[in-house]
Chain A
Amino acid sequence: MLSIKNLHASIEGKEILKGINLEVKPGEVHAIMGPNGSGKSTLASVLAGREEYEVTAGEVDYLGQDLLDLAPEERAREGVFLAFQYPVEIPGVSTTNFLKTALNQVREHKGLEPLDAVSFLTMMKEKMKLVEIDQALLSRSLNEGFSGGEKKRNEIFQMAMLEPKLSILDETDSGLDIDALRIVANGVNKLKTKDNATIVVTHYQRLLDYIVPDYVHVLYKGKIVKSGSKELALELEEKGYDWIKEEADTTTA
Chain B
Amino acid sequence: MSKDNQILEEFTSKEYEHGWNIDIEADQAPKGLNEDIVRFISAKKEEPEWLLEWRLKAFRAWTKMKEPKWANVKFPDINYQDIIYYSAPKQKVKPKSLNEVDPELLETFKKLGISLEEQKRLTGVAVDAVLDSVSVATTFKDKLAEMGIIFCSFSEAVREHPELVKKYIGSVVPTSDNYFAALNSAVFSDGSFCYIPKGVRCPMELSTYFRINAANTGQFERTLIVAEEGSYVSYLEGCTAPQRDENQLHAAVVEIYAKKDAEVKYSTVQNWYPGDKEGKGGIYNFVTKRGICAGDNSKISWTQVETGSSITWKYPSCILKGDNSIGEFYSVAVTNNRQQADTGTKMIHIGKNTKSRIVSKGVSAGYSQNSYRGQVKVMKRADGARNFSQCDSLLMGDKCGAHTFPYIDIENKSAQIEHEATTSKIGEDQIFYCTQRGIDEEKAVALIVNGYCKEVLNQLPMEFAVEAQKLLALTLEGSVG
Q: Give A contacts to B, CB under 8 Å.
A: 48-52, 71-73, 75-77, 81-82, 84, 87-88, 90-93, 97-99, 101-106, 108-109, 113-114, 116, 141, 158, 162
Instruction: Name B410-469 residues within 8 Å CB distance of A.
Output: 427-430, 432-441, 443, 447-448, 450-455
A105 and B443: CB pair below 8 A? yes
Q: Are A105 and B428 in contact (CB under 8 A)?
A: no
A106 with B438: CB separation less than 8 A: yes
Quick check: A93 and B438 within 8 Å, CB to CB? no
Known contacts A50-B432, A51-B432, A114-B2; decide if A91 and B439 are in contact (CB<8 Å). no
B450 touches A101 (CB 8 A): no
Closest Cβ neighbor of A73 among chain B residues: B435
Q: Chain A contacts of B1 at CB under 8 A?
A: 108, 113-114
Cβ–Cβ contact B433 & A102, under 8 A: no
User: Which of B428, B440, B447 meets A90, CB within 8 Å?
Assistant: B447
Residues on B with C-beta less than 8 A from A75 are 436
A92's contact among B434, B440, B454, by CB below 8 Å, is which? B454
- Interface assignment of B97: CB less than 8 Å from any CB of chain A: no
Q: Assuming the A-B contacts A88-B429, A114-B5, are A76 and B436 also in contact, with contact meaning beta carbons closer than 8 angstroms in the complex? A: yes
Contact of B433 with A105 in the complex, beta carbons under 8 Å: no
Q: Given A90-B447, A106-B438, A114-B1, list of 19 further CB < 8 A pairs?
A: A52-B428, A72-B432, A72-B435, A73-B435, A73-B438, A73-B439, A73-B441, A90-B448, A91-B452, A92-B451, A92-B453, A92-B455, A93-B451, A98-B437, A99-B437, A101-B447, A105-B440, A113-B1, A141-B451
Interface of B is mostly: helix
Contact partner, B435, options A76, A84, A97, Cβ 8 Å: A76
Decide: A98 and B2 in contact? CB cutoff 8 A: no
Residue of A nearest to B440 (CB): A73
- Bound CA–CA A52/B439 (angstroms): 19
Contact A91 B451 (CB under 8 A): yes
**B428: contacting residue among A51, A76, A84, A97, CB under 8 A:** A51
Nearest A residue (CB) for B454: A92
Residues of B contacting A48 with CB < 8 Å? 436
List of A residues within 8 angstroms of B441 by Cβ: 73
The 5 closest A-B CB pairs, nearest first, are A92-B451, A93-B451, A92-B454, A102-B437, A76-B438
Knowing A105-B443, A114-B1, A114-B2, the reply to whether A92 touches B450 (Cβ < 8 A) is yes
How distant is B457 from chain A, measured CB to nearest CB, in Å?
9
Q: Which residues of B contact A52 (CB under 8 A)?
A: 428
In chain A, what residue has the closest Cβ to B4? A114
Q: How far is the CA of A51 from the CA of B435 in the complex (A)?
A: 11
Assess the A87–B433 pair: CB atoms within 8 A. yes
User: In the complex, which residues of chain A have a beta carbon less than 8 angstroms from the beta carbon of B429?
Assistant: 88
